[in-house]
Amino acid sequence: MKHNIRAAAAGTSLSVLLSLSMAHMFNDMFQSLVSASYPVIKESLDLTFSQIGLIALTYQICASVFQPFFGELFDRRPNSWYLVIGTTSTAIGLLILAFAPSVYAVMLSVAFIGLGSSVIHPEASRLTHVASGGKYGLAQSIFQVGGNFGGAIGPLLAAAVVAPYGQRYIAIFAALAAISLLTKRPLVRWHRLHYRQAQRPNATPATVHRVRLSKRKIYWSLVLLLLLIFSKYIYMACFSNYYTFYLIEKFGVTTRQSQIFLFANLLASAVGILLGGPIGDRVGRKHVIWASILGTAPFAIILPYVGLAWTCVLSIMIGLVLSSAFSAILVYAQELLPTKVGLISGLFFGLAFGIAGIAAAVLGGVADAHGIEYVYRLCSFTPLLGLTAMFLPNIRKAKRSDA
């Protein structure tokens, strides 16, 4: 009887993880669709690179600044409707974007889309931790790969629908976002059931695995992890916002062809992030973080000096290697503060988006002044900050369990 109960619980957890991964897939699909549509919006509204940078900054701020606050709220006041609220905000933003007549309307639309992401990321990541069954790296990888897969689909959808038919066809994806609300129903039911069971007087308290490190060392480790996020997402901003422009300007490819190259990079990122979590569970997250960020450096440094074919190959390698770091970094930080999973998720997702937004705005100005190729040469050395991973403690040897 006990075996059957355990098996049922494990099956339920897997179904929840897959549902959360699907929620992440839809969210990041809409995100990457927006960034992949920048060339169409730029041409339609006659915008400059600096204005594209401001649009990206508006989106990233709304998708970052609020995340730690939402994460803290979700830790303190769990509610089964948060994911529904986030998706609704995204649908509203996409609908406004489809008919936006000016740069200000575009900025308003991406603000709604950003707020939707700022709700979905910390809440879905927190629920992933709850449903992990102790396999935190694997669970985060399943969750993250959904997001990366969605992010890879976005440019293809932009190439198939938005590029040939125009900005107004983004309204199709606003309708798809509204339909995706149906996929949240199993999560709403599971959350209610899980929360009720946890509130029962005879419920067994969850085991909390704390690290045997001083508060000073924990906070110092968090600072190092944030620095690694900084290095990763400054470089990733080159790809998420300007890779299509780089290919068009340097190699003369079409907008549709550039979006297919972006798809290859994002698909490789999805594979890398799926591998990073389980490997971190086995060999330690510090080793994955070190190999992922620092291992990207040779490819990044060579990229600005090669032809189109090698650019494609190197961008795939960069996506594969660099993306494996985020799950390891996030779970490492959650293990440092295991009672603040929502806050940590919001902080790290928020910082990732914030850095990407600021970098997008700054790099847009640099591209206007010096050209897009200069941006890639300038940012090629940021992965060398991965050297700071050597100062992280090995927390696999420093855990204790509290009931």
- Mapped onto helix, strand or coil, the DSSP state of residue 328 is helix
8 Å CB contact between 285 and 137: yes
**Per-residue pLDDT, 113:** 93
Q: Residue 13: pLDDT band by 50, 70, 90 thresholds?
A: confident
CA 244/CA 158 separation, integer angstroms: 12
Write the CA distances from 192 to 27, 70, 188, 189, integer angstroms.
Answer: 22, 19, 6, 5
Q: Name the DSSP letter for residue 386.
A: G
CA 220/CA 75 separation, integer angstroms: 23
The residue ranges of every structural domain in the chain are 8-402
- The pair of three-digit structure tokens given for residue 330, joined into one six-digit string: 């996030």
Left (φ > 0), alpha (ψ -120 to 50) or beta: where does 46 sit? Answer: left
CA 209/CA 83 separation, integer angstroms: 27
For residues 7-31, give the mean pLDDT: 76
pTM metric for this prediction: 0.68
**Per-residue pLDDT, 2:** 37
What percent of the chain clears pLDDT 70, i.e. is strictly above it?
A: 90
CA 269/CA 277 separation, integer angstroms: 13
8 Å CB contact between 353 and 63: yes
Of 239, 246, 298, 241, nearest in space to 264 by CA: 239
Task: Tell me the DSSP string of 350-384.
Answer: HHHHHHHHHHHHHHHHHHHHH-HHHHHHHHTTGGG
Of 48, 107, 1, 93, nearest in space to 357 by CA: 107
CATH topology for the 8-402 domain: Growth Hormone; Chain: A; (1.20.1250)
pLDDT at 141 over 90: no
**Per-residue pLDDT, 210:** 62
CA 401/CA 403 separation, integer angstroms: 7
CA 3/CA 225 separation, integer angstroms: 39
Which long-range contacts link 217-220 to residues 24+ away (Cβ below 8 Å)? Answer: 217/393, 218/336, 218/337
- Give residues with Cβ within 8 angstroms of 251, minimum separation 6: 307, 308, 311
pLDDT at 107 over 90: yes
pLDDT at 12 over 50: no
Higher pLDDT, 211 or 81: 81
Per-residue pLDDT tens over the stretch 249-303: 999 998 888 888 888 887 888 788 778 777 877 777 888 888 888 889 899 999 9
- The pair of three-digit structure tokens given for residue 202, joined into one six-digit string: 């005879």
